[in-house]
Amino acid sequence: MTYRVDIDSIHASLFLLENMVFASENLCSKYSVSTDTEEGSENYYRYFGWLRFILSEQLISVAIKTRVVMDVLASEERIYHEDGEEFGPNVFNLVREVSTRYNLGNFDSPEEELDIRLVCNKILHAEDIFPIQETSPTKSATPFDESTDGAIANYDYWTGVLNLSGHHRGNEWSLNLNVAEFCSALEEFISRIEAEFDLYRIYKHDI
C-alpha cells in the first residue's frame, strides 16, 4: 500500500508561499522592518524569525509530498508496464519538461541539472536556510505626509530568494532558490499530474 497524499494541500502551500514572496516588501515597509531603530529592530527579528519558520514548515511539507507523488507514479508505471498496460507520461520526463520553463535559481554544482525534483531533495537535506534580504532606497516623503521630517526611513525586506546550503558526500553545496518560480513550476507540475494520471484508479486498487 502506497502513501496517500492530499494534493490540495500542496496547492494550498504553494499559494501561501507565493503570496509571502510578493507581500514581503509592502509588509516590511508598513512596519519599518529595520535594525536602524529600536522599534524597527524588534519588527525585524519578529518578521524574519517567523518568515524562516513558515518557509521551513511549508517547503518541507511540499517537498516531502511532491517526492512521494513522484515515487508513487514511477512505481506504478513499472507495474503497469509489466502488465502490458498504458500508464501515462513518464513522471521524470514531465519533471524535466516543466522545469525548463522556469528560473528555479542558481545551484553551484555543474554536474547536476536543477529541476523540481532536485530542489525538493535540497530542501529536505539543507543544513541551513537564509532568506536573501535587500534594503529599500530612501524615499522622499510626499507633501501631504505629516508623519515624517522629509524622508521615509529605509526598511529591510525579503527578495523572494532563499539560500539553502549543506553537504553532500563531504562537499559543500549552495542553492539560491527563487521561491515564486519554484511555486509556479510545481503548481504546473502538480496540475499536469492531476490532468494526465488516473490517481483515483491508482489508489482505489491499492489496498
pLDDT of 191 above 70: yes
Within-domain flag for 15:
yes
Mean pLDDT calculated for residue range 146-151: 50
pLDDT of 67 above 90: yes
Q: DSSP 3-state assignment of 203?
A: helix
Q: Which residues pair with 167 in a beta bridge?
A: 172
Within-domain flag for 65:
yes
Range of the domain at 104: 7-204
Mean pLDDT calculated for residue range 69-79: 82
Question: What are the angstrom distances between the C-alpha of 130 and each of 73, 109, 143, 202?
Answer: 32, 19, 38, 39
**pLDDT tier at 81 (50, 70, 90 boundaries)?**
low
pLDDT score at 79: 66
pLDDT score at 48: 96
List of long-range contacts for 110-118, beta carbons under 8 Å, 24+ apart = 114/175, 116/66, 116/182, 116/185, 116/186, 116/189, 117/66, 117/67, 117/70, 117/92
Within-domain flag for 66:
yes
Mean pLDDT calculated for residue range 93-115: 91
Within-domain flag for 2:
no
pLDDT of 139 above 90: no
pLDDT score at 11: 96
If one compares 116 and 78, the residue with the highest pLDDT of the two is: 116
Can you give the pTM of this predicted structure?
Answer: 0.85
Within-domain flag for 103:
yes
pLDDT score at 141: 44
The count of structural domains within the chain is: 1
Within-domain flag for 22:
yes
**Cα–Cα distance for residue pair 37/138, rounded to 1 Å:** 15
**pLDDT tier at 144 (50, 70, 90 boundaries)?**
very low
pLDDT score at 158: 97
pLDDT of 105 above 50: yes
Within-domain flag for 1:
no
pLDDT of 200 above 70: no
Within-domain flag for 90:
yes
pLDDT score at 174: 96
